[in-house]
Structure 1
Amino acid sequence: MAPMEQQALALDVRQLEKLSVLQDEDAPNLVAEMAQGYLARTPARLSRLRELLAAGNAGQLANEAHGLATASGMFGMMRVRQYCKALENLARGSSLEGAEGLLTQVEQAYAEARPLLMAELKLRD
């Protein structure tokens, strides 16, 4: 395991517990519904990151990586968040060298954490 992978959990359920305060009798499944939206949108966001990287559009790549980092962190996908933040920081720098590897790590971390989030919230595909 690389050092970065050791620093962040694939899924930190404490983040989901923090979100649960948003739920009440009128919206008992709000967190699950929000997570379903996140999960539905993320594959397109990952594709967008690939497109921006291929185009060499560092500014937009940084912005997209930032947005995905924020959303991923909200749902406890801390490794996805960590790799997205690293990708964002790289894209804001002077070169995109290494971005391909980071984006692959983002995708792998998402693939690992997605079923954990779905199981935690009892979501179906």
Structure 2
Amino acid sequence: MTMVAAADISSQDELESMRETFGEDFSMLAELYLADSPKRIAALREAAAGGDAAQAARVAHSLGGSSASIGAPALAAQCLALEQDCRNGALDKLSQQLQNIETAYKHLETKIRGMLQA
């Protein structure tokens, strides 16, 4: 699975489509995503720092699912790749993967906040 550059994340999201699909509920879902994701990223960083591959895989799975649900398939794919690597014991790329996820999330957060203010 190839890693997607953070700069490409915003061009590959489906946020507008999801906003149309969910209508007025999109704002609530987006707020929940923005409130929850930083906690998951912090938990992912903590698990990675502690070498807890099983916990990192669980958190990556959860973050990936919520990212897919909000309309961020590229970020979801990055989470899936990290989850699979953790489950396979391939932790050599974990730090770089986590950094890529954090960068991608920051881009998405900026876009979502802009959408919510519009």
- TM-score in terms of structure 2 length: 0.82
On the 8 A contact 2:47/2:55 being kept in 1, the answer is: yes
Q: Which residue of 2 aligns with 1:26?
A: none
User: Structure 1 residues 3, 67: closer, same or farther in 2, change over 3 A?
Assistant: closer
Please state if 1:35 is matched with 2:30.
yes
The letter for the 2-side match of 1:9 is: I
- TM-score in terms of structure 1 length: 0.78
Q: In 1, distance between residues paired with 2:54 and 2:16?
A: 31
Q: Which residue of 1 aligns with 2:79?
A: 84
Q: Which residue of 2 aligns with 1:62?
A: 57
Q: Tell me the percent identity.
A: 26
Please state if 1:102 is matched with 2:97.
yes
Matching residue within 63, 66, 73 for 1:71: 66
Q: Secondary structure at the match of 1:71?
A: helix
Q: Which runs of 5+ in 1 are unaligned?
A: 24-28
The letter for the 2-side match of 1:93 is: N
Q: Which runs of 5+ in 2 are unaligned?
A: none
On the 8 A contact 1:49/1:65 being kept in 2, the answer is: yes
Count matched residues: 116
Matching residue within 95, 111, 114 for 1:116: 111
On the 8 A contact 1:11/1:77 being kept in 2, the answer is: no
Q: In 2, distance between residues paired with 1:67 and 1:39?
A: 14
Q: In 1, distance between residues paired with 2:39 and 2:50?
A: 16
Q: Secondary structure at the match of 1:35?
A: helix
Q: In 1, distance between residues paired with 2:72 and 2:90?
A: 27
The letter for the 1-side match of 2:17 is: E
Q: In 2, distance between residues paired with 1:54 and 1:98?
A: 13
